[in-house]
Amino acid sequence: MSATPLRRGLSLSLGWLADRAIPRPLRAPIFRAYARAYDVNLSEVRLPLEEHPSMGAFFVRRLIDGARPFPSDARVFPSPCDGTVQSIDRIERDTILQAKGRPYSVRELLGPVGSDVALDGGHAWTIYLSPRDYHRVHTPVAGSLVEAVWLPGARYSVAPKVLAARPKVFSINERCVMRIETARGPLFYVMVGALNVGRIKVVGVEQASSGRLGSPRTLALGEELARFEMGSTVILVVPPGGPLPGSDLPPGKSLRMGESIGYWPR
């Protein structure tokens, strides 16, 4: 399903506005107002506020070193992003849950990526990024990015209260699906676009090159992988034998990148 002209036009218009340069004297007051509205911790921002030329630049702001440390314990499976736990599901009969028990197909979600991997018995973590969160996504394990596929689709809102009323948003919205090969098997990342999110950027990979990478990109633990140029949702999909969910992650729990969301069984 493609995005309707109205939704696409709205997203493009908001993206254009987000990229407009803000006069330097106005930047700090505008970004402080944004921070108050969304409870953004400005003490973590790496650059002075006036060094962010636009709202879009502030939205993908970088953080100071050490703001999101990754665990040294190799058994810990850390969150790749800030956000809020929406659901953590065991994959059964090709099904995971979106919200309020609404099922959708993991194969539809991933598109052509991972068709060679048996996923039943694995798990999926769904993490929603709100306007307050750090919007760069990092890798929770060392490995190689071998595939990045952009899938066209709709641009429905992914706000939790909206998902309760509209089925299968994650598997019909525009999204980028990535495959990372690790020493412990493959991981799949799905970055889901939304109503106002038309730009999902993968570090070192152009959307025009969608598909298998000619040269896999080596990733160290905690290295930046991709970013949303507005907020949305990250879904981590792992096959059986991969990491298992932690026991203290109820829906609605806030996460910081690097915080434990599970553990490796071996």
Question: Encoding tokens for residue 204?
Answer: 């070192």
Collapsing DSSP to helix, strand or coil, 256 comes out as coil
Per-residue pLDDT tens, the chain, 266 aa: give them: 455 555 555 565 666 677 899 999 999 999 999 999 999 999 999 999 999 999 989 999 999 999 999 999 999 999 999 999 998 999 999 988 766 567 889 999 999 999 999 999 999 999 999 889 999 999 999 999 999 999 988 777 777 666 666 667 888 888 999 999 999 999 999 999 877 656 889 999 988 888 999 999 999 999 999 999 876 899 999 999 999 998 889 989 999 999 999 999 87
Q: Looking at residue 204, what is its pLDDT?
A: 92
Q: Looking at residue 195, what is its pLDDT?
A: 73
- Whether the CB-CB separation of 108 and 189 falls below 8 Å is answered with no
Cβ count near 171 (within 10 Å): 23
Question: Can you point out the beta strands (E) in the chain?
Answer: 76-78, 83-90, 95-97, 103-105, 123-128, 136-138, 143-151, 175-182, 185-192, 200-202, 211-219, 224-228, 233-238, 244-245, 254-255, 260-263
Q: Looking at residue 154, what is its pLDDT?
A: 79
Ramachandran angles phi, psi of 153, nearest 5°? 175, -160
pTM: 0.90
∠ at Cα 234 (63, 106), nearest 5°? 165
Catalytic residues: 82, 138, 232
CA distance 208 to 197: 18
257 by Cβ neighbours in 10 Å (0-12 / 13-18 / 19+) ranks as buried
Distance from the Cα of residue 161 to its chain's centroid: 18
Look at residues 129, 147, 152, 144 and name the one whose alpha carbon lies nearest to residue 234. 129
CA distance 155 to 196: 7
> Given the structure tokens 């970013």, which residue do they identify?
227
Q: Looking at residue 136, what is its pLDDT?
A: 95
The domain segmentation of the chain, as residue ranges, is 5-59, 76-263
Taking the chain, what is the end-to-end CA distance rounded to the nearest angstrom?
Answer: 40
